[in-house]
Structure 1
Amino acid sequence: MRDDVIFSLIKYDKLLVVYGNAMCMKYRSRHHYDMIKNRLRIMGRFLQVAKSVNPAIDDFASLYQPPIFDTIIEVLHQFGNYDKISGYYEKPTLPSTIGTALKYIANLYIMECIKSRDEKQKKDVEDVLVLLKTGLQGPVNKTAAESLLHQKRQKKEVLPLTEDVRKLNAYITSN
């Protein structure tokens, strides 16, 4: 990875290191390394933006507190460039991808809480996981799916010119 602010956030964040290690164990092949690096960088960028939105967030683990859930939704909207007027995301896949990763990291965090016997933090993470599973369906996942569909409908298809089709037809006929 490039040695920058995002790399420092990832490198010194215990939960993101656990996430990276879990990804390396899951995807052992060398050709997956870029995917792992990209997912870690996305989560590092997510943490950076979350810190700027809510100063109470110190590390990735502090995202898993029930009062912080609204901040998570806000940051996901920022990542997708949510347009309040149209109700669509400009980049719809990013919020749903991050939402899935947040759920995966929450399960890893629960495992870490069990290992350290931290019942209070485990309960908070489980509560946030419930919020992520139910609370992301409407404002994030459904909006992302609708945005993708809207973008597909609005995509302009460039058709070949009539003259080019005639040339192709003449070429096929002659050969």
Structure 2
Amino acid sequence: MRLSKTSDGKRAVTNKHFCLFCGKAYSKMARYLEQMHQKETEVARALAFPKLSKMRRMQLDLLRKRGNHAHIEVMSAGKGILLPCKKSSELVNANDFMHCLQVKAVLHCHGLFKRKFLWKHMSRCNLARKCGPPPPGKTRIQALCAYAQPVPEGVSQRLWKLISAMTQDDITDTIKGDRCVIKMGEHLYSKLGSDSTKHQYIRQKMREVGRLLLHSKNEGHLKTMSDFVIPANFPHVIRAVQHVSGFNAEKHNLRIPSLALKLGHSLKKIANIIECDAMISGQKETAQHARHFKQVYDTKWNEYISSPALRTLTEAKYNAPQLLPFTDDVRKLHMYLDDNQKKMVASFLQYPTTRTGPA
């Protein structure tokens, strides 16, 4: 994925692309397809166009990109070679790349591009433009291409669509890579998914837990949400929640107290899900860990998290300044009421009725 250079500083030709039909890697893919797979229908269609023509080049580029996309299993395996359309001179993360795909389109470019530049490619891609104008905004295009990716095993199509609508960042990648967060999303979707107005709420809950898990991964103590429900890791859980919620040790308050309370409810819900799954599958040790975690949670959570959070919320309410109206505003209101009163009285006297007229 990194750009290679020769000793004199020139770019080295080290690109090798994977064949769509045999899976082998070659540097001159167009020549290889013409020599070895000319009997294939798609190759024959591309070779039918004149040499150096735009359509011939576009068809061969499509076959080359489709071959590289067929090699996508290296991303799920966590090792191998990814072949982006544009290489970088610096080391980059594989999660920063995304394929040019569309859900309802018959033709796809299948090119691998950086996420933040994908919108620019979609506006120029010939195949993408044939499928219709791209949606406005950078994140919407990323969500569209993310939803077109193959649905991982164990994730329902409906939840995958909901996750793909999130902002494609490190938090979303963390959510996709953790089974417990996915199960919590499935649980919430089963309860609230029939109401489309609740989809944003489900995404919000998953992103809250994903943010907590991402911080714990960076700290190095807790790698998955299943590690959170181990009673021995409860001190690490407390520190992670305090850090995400902005705990101030001197004032003993939280910058985002509502987030701390929400994370507490989500952690207990995840513990219940893990305990139920462990009991069904016969994993007694995991079920016992989840059960003991809930006991520790009921005893210690209020002391470390709930009490400071509720106190912070209460102080914010009674410390809020009471706003009084300006004198000019009160005077204008009284003048308006007096004028309208005079107009209404004159109208009633001029046009008397049985209810409003003079007796």
Q: Same fold (TM over 0.5)?
A: yes
The aligned residue for residue 95 of structure 1 is: 260
Pair 1:58-2:227 in alignment: no
1:48 paired residue among 203, 214, 219 = 214
The aligned residue for residue 81 of structure 1 is: 246
Partners in 2 of 1:137 and 1:39 — Cα distance? 21
Pair 1:2-2:2 in alignment: no
The aligned residue for residue 331 of structure 2 is: 166
Which structure has the higher relative contact order (CA within 8 Å, separation 6+)?
1
Partners in 2 of 1:103 and 1:61 — Cα distance? 12
CA contact (8 A) 1:81 1:90 kept: yes
Describe how 1:1-175 pairs up with structure 2 within 5 A. Answer: 1-28=166-193, 29-53=195-219, 55-175=220-340
1:25 to partner: Cα distance:
0.5
CA contact (8 A) 1:103 1:133 kept: no
Partners in 2 of 1:68 and 1:167 — Cα distance? 63
Mark the CA change 1:62 to 1:102 in structure 2 (over 3 Å): closer, same or farther. same
3-state SS in 2 of match to 1:136? helix
Q: Which sits farther off after the overlay, 157-166 or 7-16?
A: 157-166
Instruction: Pick the structure with more helix per residue.
Output: 1
1:20 to partner: Cα distance:
0.4
Partners in 2 of 1:41 and 1:80 — Cα distance? 14
Q: Which sits farther off after the overlay, 26-35 or 80-89?
A: 80-89
Structure 2: give runs of 5+ residues left out of the alignment. Answer: 1-165, 341-359
User: RMSD value over aligned CA atoms?
Assistant: 1.2
CA contact (8 A) 1:47 1:60 kept: yes
Q: Which sits farther off after the overlay, 44-53 or 105-114?
A: 44-53
Measured against aligned partners, the alpha-carbon deviations of 1:2-23 in whole angstroms (never above 9, x if no partner) come to 2221111111211111100000
1:138 to partner: Cα distance:
1.6
Measured against aligned partners, the alpha-carbon deviations of 1:34-80 in whole angstroms (never above 9, x if no partner) come to 00001101100010112223x24221111111121011111111122
Partners in 2 of 1:11 and 1:172 — Cα distance? 61
3-state SS in 2 of match to 1:85? coil
1:157 to partner: Cα distance:
3.1
Structure of higher CA gyration radius: 2
Structure 1: give runs of 5+ residues left out of the alignment. Answer: none
Partners in 1 of 2:296 and 2:181 — Cα distance? 20
Partners in 2 of 1:153 and 1:43 — Cα distance? 30
TM-score (norm 2): 0.47
CA contact (8 A) 2:221 2:236 kept: no
Partners in 2 of 1:135 and 1:77 — Cα distance? 14
Partners in 2 of 1:62 and 1:76 — Cα distance? 14
CA contact (8 A) 1:65 1:125 kept: yes
Q: Which sits farther off after the overlay, 43-52 or 149-158?
A: 149-158
